[in-house]
Amino acid sequence: MFETASAGLLSLFAFLAVISIVVVIHELGHFQVGRWCGVHAEVFSVGFGPTLVSWHDGKGTQWRIAALPLGGYVRFRGDENAASAPDRKELARLREAHADPGTVFHFKPVWQRVLIVAAGPVANFILAVVIFAALGMIRGEARIEPLVGEVTAGSPAESAGLESGDLILAIDGSPVSGFSDISRTVFMRAGQQIDIAVERDGERITIQATPERRVMDDYLGGERARGFLGIGVSRDAEITHERYSVLEAPAYGVQRTAEAVGMIFDYIARLVTGRASTEYLNGPIGIATTAGQIANIAVSDAAGGTSETGPADRLVRLVLGLLSLSALLSVALGLMNLLPIPVLDGGHLVYYAYEAVAGHPPGPAVQTTGFRLGLALILGMMLVATWNDISYLRDLFS
């Protein structure tokens, strides 16, 4: 009973830590660029709901610590809500009162509003680069040569003609540098043909294979559907481990962030074109579950330690695991907010692009309708993601 409660508390802590870091950094991006542009931020809240603690800084911004630590928000002067929808009554009052237009977000030139809105996603990408760079210096990266060992009987790999000893060079034209690249590529391509370039007996040949959908262990205690090819790594595969220097780490951080961006973009593109399933969409429950699983595995003996593993080693594993998850979530949050959907940052940027071309913003009715449709779309996506999360939890505890 005590162990279950402890695991639950650790899961809750892990989720709150990860989501707070990612969202608060996003909002700090908006806040800092807004302040550089002279916009007055009325409120910066860490968390949502009732205020627990608050104070004002020297420029009049109220900083809050709220009861629900699920991220946060910044509200600029003239905003109606945390989504930065314009408060038209307040804007009219400010105009009548001849308020300093330089302090009002919605009175700023288009280019400054674009910078302020884009600063949130950019902050997420910068956070991901910094985390990946730090992990590259601290933990480094192990790469396993993509040399095929066992080929599972009856698998798509066997049907396609892959053989033990094949060195995989590229998949769909993208170079493969390690065996993990194969797993990432195949993961969400069930039922889709892929071109695999391999080196066999000194010759380069291309093989077409179609991964099949299988429900498999996700290495976090649960099971998820994924594309299955049916190859294992060869015992003769070379394993290298590289730890990056202070000078090399930033480039490594950019590379890992770019890989994450490419992977998410690829999924979104295939989702929109109907070539990928919505079963990989996850919401807050899924994030909380994953964070909890990573945290509990990190502090357990199953993470590669022994009963003699000290608290310091477990703490390091915990921090590194949550940092890795935070980096991936930061990239996902940055990209999601750039989608051209009203309510999200990308939707605001679409409105500003229209204003820059037409010389005036879209009418109030158009903006209101856009926000409503955008909210409906986001709620629909959240409904699908929540269903996926609940299905995963049901299977996890069954």
Ordered DSSP codes for 167-183 = EEEEETTEE--SHHHHH
Its sign, for the CA torsion 300, 306, 307, 310, is negative
**Most confidently modeled range among 60-69, 102-111, 361-370:** 60-69
Is pLDDT above 80 for 77? Answer: yes
Which of the four pLDDT bands, split at 50, 70 and 90, describes residue 251?
A: very high
Is pLDDT above 90 for 10? Answer: no
DSSP annotation of 98 reads T
CA 152 to chain centre: 33
What does the alpha-carbon distance between residue 98 and residue 104 come to, in Å, rounded to a whole number? 11
Cβ atoms within 10 A of the Cβ of 138, count? 14
Contacts of 283 (CB under 8 A, 6+ apart): 382, 385, 386, 388, 389
Q: What is the DSSP pairing of strand 141-144 with strand 239-242?
A: antiparallel
DSSP string, 285-319: HHHHHHHHHHHHHHTSGGGS--TT--HHHHHHHHH
Residue, of 88 and 205, whose pLDDT is higher? 205
Q: What is the mean pLDDT of residues 81-106?
A: 70
Q: What is the mean pLDDT of residues 320-324?
A: 90
Which of the four pLDDT bands, split at 50, 70 and 90, describes residue 227?
A: confident
> Where would I find the beta strands (DSSP E) of the chain?
41-56, 62-76, 141-144, 148-151, 167-171, 174-175, 194-200, 203-209, 212-217, 223-228, 231-233, 239-242
Cβ atoms within 10 A of the Cβ of 258, count? 15
Which of the four pLDDT bands, split at 50, 70 and 90, describes residue 183?
A: confident
What does the alpha-carbon distance between residue 14 and residue 8 come to, in Å, rounded to a whole number? 10
Is pLDDT above 50 for 155? Answer: yes
Is pLDDT above 90 for 180? Answer: no
Which of the four pLDDT bands, split at 50, 70 and 90, describes residue 358?
A: very high
Tell me whether residue 27 is one of the annotated catalytic residues: yes
Mean pLDDT of the chain: 86
Is pLDDT above 50 for 189? Answer: yes
Which of the four pLDDT bands, split at 50, 70 and 90, describes residue 311?
A: confident
What does the alpha-carbon distance between residue 16 and residue 170 come to, in Å, rounded to a whole number? 39
Is pLDDT above 70 for 82? Answer: no
Residue, of 212 and 87, whose pLDDT is higher? 212
Which of the four pLDDT bands, split at 50, 70 and 90, describes residue 62?
A: very high
**Most confidently modeled range among 84-93, 114-123, 264-273:** 114-123
Which of the four pLDDT bands, split at 50, 70 and 90, describes residue 6?
A: low
pLDDT at 245: 94
Q: What is the mean pLDDT of residues 346-369?
A: 90
- Residue given tokens 């973009």 in the structure block: 265
218 within 8 A of 290, measured Cβ to Cβ: no
Q: What is the mean pLDDT of residues 158-187?
A: 89
pLDDT at 273: 80
Cβ atoms within 10 A of the Cβ of 264, count? 16
pLDDT at 4: 54
What does the alpha-carbon distance between residue 116 and residue 53 come to, in Å, rounded to a whole number? 27
Please report the domains of the chain, with CATH numbers, ordered by start residue. Answer: 137-331 (2.30.42.10)
169-178 CB contacts, 8 Å cutoff, 24+ apart:
169/197, 169/198, 169/199, 169/204, 170/196, 170/197, 171/195, 171/196, 171/197, 176/146, 177/143, 177/146, 178/143, 178/144, 178/145, 178/146
152 within 8 A of 228, measured Cβ to Cβ: no
Q: What is the mean pLDDT of residues 84-89?
A: 67
Q: Which of 27, 145, 158, 163 is catalytic?
A: 27
Is pLDDT above 60 for 11? Answer: yes
pLDDT in tens, 269-307: 888 887 777 877 888 878 888 888 888 877 775 545 444
pLDDT at 84: 64
pLDDT at 305: 47
pLDDT at 1: 46
